[in-house]
Structure 1
Amino acid sequence: MNKAIVIISHSNYRIKSSGTEKFITDISKLLQLHDIHVVQLFPVIEINNKFKKELFAVNIDDSFDGIYSESTLIDVLEYIALRNKFCYSGVQINHLHGWNLDYLSQALNHLNLPIDIIIHDYDMICENILSHDGLGKLCRLSFGVPSLSRCRICKYYPYNREHYLNCRKFLQSIKKLIYKVIAPSEVAMNNWLLGFPEYASMSIIRNHLKIEKSSNILHKPINKKIRIAYIGSTASHKGFPEWCKLLDTIDLTK
């Protein structure tokens, strides 16, 4: 039997290039280098709104496998294991956005495997923490669980209060399986734990950056022009509008 890891996310990392997707790309390559197969699952949420059926898609070792109904999640995982002679050894949750959490909970409890939760952002607490209409600036300065006292005038409050409670219920349903909650920094971990303090004993900080000097720096002649590029998703909270303003002030013909 071939060892395999199940990775849960909210998007197809093969065609999208934001932080979470880059992380999954890197971890997938690393696992495969160690002869561990990767089965990535993500909800198909960018579809015609008139089509109400809940669907999820599968990538196996960086190759698209197919689209299935979320109600068949357990059967699909068993079929994939049988077809590929996989033995699942663990689960990694990166994102819950777009998932039917009841189906996902049933499948994870059926697998009965250790689960690592990777903290990329705070969407499990509030999906609109960075929205200006949701008082994003205030939320950034005073982060916390959606509540009537702090979110009374936020138009996203009713949705996010229910969303947060659903995520709490989901995590509680798989709590016995959660092995580690992993964050890239102390700030990220502490903010996430404001919403889910009962997981503090399982939390671990694993920095993404290596605090050491690289010996592979390419030294270019000083008479070469400096090239500066914007790398990342074109989101306002990541500075893309400021980047556009900068370009408007530069004479690119020189």
Structure 2
Amino acid sequence: MGLLTGKIAVVTGAASPRGLGKATAKLFAEHGATVVITDLDEAQAQAAADDLPGEGHMGMACNVTDKEACFATAAAVIEKLGAVDILVNNAGIQFRKPMLELETADWRRVLDINLTAAFVVGREAAKRMAKRGRGKVINIGSLTSELARATVAPYTVAKGGIKMLTKAMAAEWGELGIQSNAIGPGYMVTDMNEALLSNPDFDAWVKGRTPMRRWGLPEELAGTCIYLASDASNYVSGQIIYADGGMISVL
């Protein structure tokens, strides 16, 4: 028996081959969960779901910034699988530009995808969880939930918002049997970070700044997701756990 046997888990934005969402979905499946992967492209989402160990996994198209699409996806999951036990709000984008050059439209786009979508998708999942009196919501934050870095202002603001959204969810949904927590990844080896990984100066900065002297791997974040998704964390709520190799702990 796995830690998540019999559970239905939805992981948003999880079709990227080398991404935090895909690694989390894989570990969930290995621990017995039936996993629903959502992404913008249904074929890619289904291919990612087909790649998971076990049977019954599903891929669905969902634009997390389209509230009607979120409503439809939530309804489809319930219709086909009967429940949502775990939600991982993983979908997100990065956009780098100095604030003095930043267009308002780009600011809004990053906040819509990285923060507002977590609220909308989380709300729709929590409605279903509340009817059963149990559920787990896991939001993906960042080191920038705590600290700022130049040229990524909208991302920083969105991820800071994720930290407080998680606390708001815990405050309102705790009595409904729903635990809401977040994870703040450090610098991870993902497709989103490809440009940074291939930059020798930035690579050296990450390794020099991180006490473990290396980048993190997606599966090393997924282990924290397993803890927060399982019964082992049933009295943990409103927290953000940093999986960052110790970076946030040192000057």
TM-score (normalizing by structure 1): 0.44
Task: Name whichever structure is richer in strand by fraction.
Answer: 1
TM-score (normalizing by structure 2): 0.44
Q: Which has the bigger relative contact order, CA under 8 A and spacing at least 6?
A: 2
Name the larger-Rg structure.
1
Task: Name whichever structure is richer in helix by fraction.
Answer: 2
